[in-house]
Amino acid sequence: MVMLCTGCAATSRVTSSTSASTATVSSPHERFVADFMSAYWKLKPTSAISNGLFDHAATLDPYDQATRDRELAFFDERLLSLDTLDLKPLDPNQRSDIELIRHQLSCERWYLTSFKEWQWNPAAYNVAESFDLLVQTEYAPLDKRLRTVSARLTRVPAYYAAARANIDHPTLEHTELAILQNKGGLETFNDDLLEKVRASGLSGAEKAEFERRALAARQAIEAYIAFLDGTLADLRSGTARPFRIGAPTYEQKFRHDYETGFAASELYERALKEKTWLHDQMAVRAADLWPKYFPKEAPPADRLEMIHRLLDKLSLDHVKRDELVSAIRQQIPQLEAFVRERDLVDQDPTHPLKVRETPAYQRGDAGASVSAPGPYNPGADTFYNVTPLDHETPEEAESYLREYNRWVLQILNIHEAIPGHYTQLVHANRSSSIVKSVFGDGATIEGWAVYGERMMLTAGYGNNEPEMWLFWMKWNLRSVCNTILDYAVHTQGMTREQMMDLVVREAFQQDVEAVQKWRRATLTSVQLTSYYAGYASIWQFREEEQQRLGKAFDLKAFHNRFLSYGSAPVPVIKALMRE
Ligand code: ZN
Ligand code: ZN
C-alpha cells in the first residue's frame, strides 16, 4: 500500500530504471544516504516500485500489526540516529538532505500513529497499480518480470485479509471509492495478462502456477469488495466517520505534507485576499475589453457576470480538435526561444522535451502531462504526453477546447513544459541529491510551475495582451479557490452548495468541474492547496530577494540557484540560498 505522505508523491515516475545499489558512492554523506535509502526501500517495496526501483518487487507485505511495528521501529531508530549525527562536516546542501530525511520520517510516523488512514480509508488498499507497473515497465525481460509478478501474487490474499482486519469506522466516501477502484483493479488480472503469460517463455508448470495465483488474487479482491459492500447500508445509516478531518488535524497534516513557511490558516487568509485582488484586476481588464467584443451592448452591472460573459466569448477562439497535439508541439520551441532571449533560466538542449500522444496504458481523462525520468534514471527522455481528442463526443471535445482555448493552451504549456515542470525536472535531476528527488516537496514542484506562469507573463510573454492576463487570472483563481475550499470544507463545514457557488460563480468554472471538485475535496485533504501554497511561497521569496539585493538582484541567477536544490521545500531552499 502506498503510505507516502501525499505531499511527497507528486510526480509520477513511470520509467525503466537501474538498480539503486549500482550507484557509485564515495563520501561519508553519500554512503549514509545510500544506506538509508536502501533500508527505506526494503521497508517499502511497493513505494519503491512507484519510484522505479524493482529490487524488492517480489515482496508484498500485508499491512498488519507486525508490518506497522516494523515501520514504527524503523522511524524511531532512524530519527534517533539523525539526532546523534555530526552535521559539522556537511555542506549546506547535504545538511538539507538530512533535514528532508528527518521530515519524511516524522511525517510518516505521524501518518502511521495519528492520522491512521490505514484504519479509516478502505481505498488505501489496492494492489493493481504495482502489478500494472511490473507488467508495463520494461525494467527487465518480460519472463523475469512475470516471475516477479507470480511471486508477488502469492501474498495478495494475506494482503486483503489484513486490510479487512484493519478497517475500523471508515468514511462512506472512501468505502465507495475503494469498491469502485478495486473493481477497476480486477482488470489488471484479466485475460490480457494471462495471454501474456501463455505466450511467454515460462515453463508449463510456471504458467499453471501463475494462473492459479492470479485466480486466487482475483478472488481475494472480490471478497474485499463484497466485505465493503456489506458495510454500506450501515455506513449510510449514519455510523460512518465524517470525511471532514477538522481544524487541528488539518493544520498538522498541512505542516507534514507541504513545508512552505505558512500555517494552513494563514494561507487560507492569504488566499481570500488574493481572490479579491484577482477579481479587482479582472474587472479592470474586462471593462476595457468589453466594447471590443460586445460593441453593441452595455456590460452587465454585476462585475463577475461581466467577466464571465467575456471569458465565454473569448473561449470560442481555440485550435481545431485534430490540431491539438500539433499546436502544442509548435509552441514548445517558441517558449524555449522566449526563455533564452529574455535570459530567464538555464535550459539544457541535450535533454529536449519530446511531445508525443499519450501511450494507451497511461490514458485516463483527456489532457496533458509531463512524464519524467525518475531520479534513478536521469538520462532517460522526458515526454510531454498529450491525449488527442479521439474518443470524446463533439460536445465534450468542444468543451475541452474552449477550456484550453488559444490563451489557456499557452499557459498550460508554460506550466507543464517551459519553464514549468519539464525545466524544473531537468534541473532537479542534475542536482546529485537522490533525497531531494524522492522526498521532494509537492508544493515546490507545483508551486514552481504556477510561479513560472506569472513570471513569463511579467517578463512580457504574450505582449501584455489583456486577454492573456485575463485568462492567467482565471487559471490562477482556480489554485486560489482550491486552497480556500479545501480549508473551508475540512475545517469550517462548507457545504456542497457553498463550494459550487465559489467554484462556478467566483472562479468561472464549469458545473462538471465543480462536481468533480466536491468529490476530490471529500476524498483528499490539503492536496488541493499545493499549487497555491508553493506559488505564494516562491513569489514571496522572490520579492524578498529583490528587496534585499536591490540592483544586484539577477532573475536568471535566482532561478538557476533556486532550481539547483531540486524539489526541496521553499524554506529549506531559502536558508541555503542565504547561507
Ligand atoms: Zn512529508
Ligand atoms: Zn502541475
Q: How many angstroms separate the Cα of 576 from the Cα of each of 95, 98, 102, 137, 536? A: 9, 13, 17, 37, 19
CA of 413 to the centre of ligand 1 (A): 28
Q: How far is the CA of 473 from the centre of ligand 1 (A)?
A: 30
Closest CA to 503 of 493, 513, 494: 513
Cis peptide before 352 (omega within 30 of 0): no
For 218-256, the pLDDT digits (tens) are 999 999 999 999 999 999 999 999 999 999 999 999 999
For residue 51, name the pLDDT band (cuts at 50, 70, 90): confident
- Among the bound ligands, name the one nearest to the CA of residue 475: 2
**CB of 285 within 8 A of CB of 516?**
no
Ligand nearest, relative to CA of residue 256:
1
User: 471 or 390: which carries more pLDDT confidence?
Assistant: 471
The pocket of ion ligand 2, defined by CB under 5 A, consists of 446, 449
Quick one: which ligand is closest to 534's CA? 2
Rg (CA), the chain: 25
What whole-number distance in Å separates Cα of residue 322 and Cα of residue 310? Answer: 26
Predicted pLDDT of residue 16: 34
Q: Would you state the torsion angle of the CA atoms of residues 131, 136, 142, 146, taken in this order, to the nearest 10 degrees?
A: 10
Which residues have CB under 8 Å from 405's CB, separation 6+? Answer: 314, 315, 316, 317, 318, 471
Q: Which of 56, 256, 36, 266 is nearest to 152 (CA)?
A: 56
Whole-number Å distance, alpha carbon 227 to ligand 2 midpoint, is 37
**Ligand 1 mean position, distance from CA 405 (Å):** 36
β-pairing, 382-386 vs 353-357, is parallel
Nearest listed ligand to the Cα of residue 259? 1
Q: Ligand nearest 252 Cα, by number?
A: 1
Q: Is the pLDDT of residue 14 over 50?
A: no
The answer for residues whose C-beta is within 8 angstroms of residue 445's C-beta and 6 or more apart is: 10, 11, 421, 424, 534, 567
User: C-alpha grid cell for residue 234?
Assistant: 450501515
Q: Is the pLDDT of residue 4 over 50?
A: no
The whole-number pLDDT of residue 422 equals 93
Element (H, E) at 382: strand 382-386
Q: What is d(CA 360, CA 349) in angstroms, rounded to the nearest whole number?
A: 28
Distance of CA 456 from the midpoint of ligand 2 (Å): 16
Confidence (pLDDT) at 15: 35
The CA distance from 470 to 426, in Å, is 30
What cell does 81 get? 540516529
Helix (H, G, I), strand (E, B) or coil at 383: strand
Other Cβ atoms closer than 10 A to 519: 12
As a whole number of angstroms, the distance between CA 405 and CA 307 comes to 16
- Report how far residue 366's alpha carbon sits from residue 9's, in angstroms, rounded to the nearest whole number: 22
75 pLDDT tier (thresholds 50, 70, 90): very high
Task: Give the integer Cα–Cα distance in Å for 43 and 4.
Answer: 12
Q: Quick one: pLDDT at residue 378?
A: 65
Element (H, E) at 385: strand 382-386
251 three-state secondary structure: helix
pLDDT band at 5 (very low <50, low <70, confident <90, very high): very low
* Ligand with the closest atom to the CA of 100: 1
Q: How remote is the CA of residue 197 from the centroid of ligand 1, in Å? A: 39
Quote the pLDDT of residue 50.
Answer: 86
Total-model pTM: 0.90
The per-residue pLDDT for range 111-166, each reduced to its tens digit, is 999 999 999 999 999 999 899 989 988 899 999 999 999 999 999 999 999 999 99
* Dist. CA 184 → ligand 1 center (Å): 29
The C-alpha atoms of residue 569 and residue 575 are separated, in whole angstroms, by 10
CB 427 within 8 A of CB 436: no
Distance 383 CA to ligand 2 centre (A): 14
What is the per-residue pLDDT for 366?
58
Give 139-200 as a 3 state SS string.
Answer: CCCHHHHHHHHHHHHCCHHHHHHHHHHHCCCCEHHHHHHHHHHHHHHHHHHCHHHHHHHHCC
Q: How is residue 340 written as a grid cell?
A: 533564452
Q: Among the bound ligands, name the one nearest to the CA of residue 441.
A: 1
Ligand nearest to C-alpha 415: 2
Question: 298 alpha carbon to ligand 2 midpoint, in Å?
Answer: 38
Q: Are 388 and 499 in contact (CB under 8 A)?
A: no
Sheet holding 368-371, edge to edge: 353-357, 382-386, 368-371
